[in-house]
Amino acid sequence: MPLARPARAAVLLAACSLLLTGCGGSKAPTAEAAPALDNCGRKVRVDMAPRHAVSLNQGTTEILLSLGLADRMAGTATWTDPVMKGLEKADAKVPRIAENNPSFERVLDSGPDFVAASFVSTLGTGGVATRDQFEKLGVPTYVSPSDCAGKDNSGGGDGKRDKALGIEAVYGEVRDLATVFGVKDRGERLVASLQQRMKKATRGIDASGVSLLYWFANSESPYMAGCCGAPGIMTRALGAKNAFGDTHEEWPQVNWETVADRNPDVLVIGDLTRDSQTAESAAKKIAFLESDPVTKNMDAVRHKRYVLLSGQAMNPTIRTVEGVEKVAAGLREFGLVK
């Protein structure tokens, strides 16, 4: 496809930052990937640490910001929540090129020398653009390994997992990105901090016999968590049970009669600030639960056993650790743990 003039300029800028020394600027740090990074079935070669990176999903963005890389980011996109606490100042330094998926041309206009995403669908057919489209222009791409490991994304919906995802996949993404940007020490410090928080949140907790239901979005045909994504990490860490742990779909759409029949002990509710589905915020979800004739008599609803999580905590991101902390705190508050 012929490129519009601004897009052509962006591609030239990307090529400069990749192949030269910033077109006359000082030389960027050398990335520590040698010779290439294995990523979701591809080899990603980055010969120079990026200086104009674009992150297309909030989860990956928050990793880059946590690694202190705001000054090397040319743009971010696709947000479901306010930025993670503590990252507000860093986030304010980075242009937000779109609240949802930007166009391919809009991304190129920002002059990227590296493009990262949290989901295969973002850098696939029907998403922003394919990885091949970027890489043909000399722009390396990266996708969160948590969306590839043990997961089939070839069908519709959010994919299926043939094995449970572990938190190590999230740590692996942190380490990969830290390596690409030449800040491995920062990556190790961030991983160590996340590991310590996981240990503290789960120390002495036993939620065996407690069933959890994770509701991400949509009141008409709700998306509930299957067995093996980020909610599975939380559930296993606490020794609890997932009300829909018998499905391997990432986010199956389930009717309310089935939900009521399973009658979970606790409802873990996504509190999203985007506006693309019905009942995005926790307030709207709770209002629905407490008024709908099918759901209002569920035990968790009658006893108001709700745990509110950001959308990012319910996806495989560094905020999944935050999810473990909040669910653990909720179970203790409800008196449901031993």
| Phi and psi at residue 269, to the nearest 5° | -115, 130
- Does the structure show a pLDDT above 60 at 85? yes
Per-residue pLDDT tens for 283-331?
999 999 999 999 999 999 999 999 999 999 999 999 999 999 999 999 9
Domains of the chain, first to last: 5-195 (3.40.50.1980), 205-334 (3.40.50.1980)
Flag whether pLDDT at 2 surpasses 80: no
Q: Tell me how far apart the alpha carbons of residues 254 and 271 are, in angstroms, rounded to a whole number.
A: 19
pLDDT tens readout for residues 176-190: 999 999 999 999 999
Residue 161 and residue 229 in contact, taking contact as beta carbons nearer than 8 Å: yes
What percentage of the chain carries pLDDT values higher than 90?
A: 84
In Å, what is the CA distance from 71 to each residue of 82, 181, 203, 294? 20, 12, 37, 50
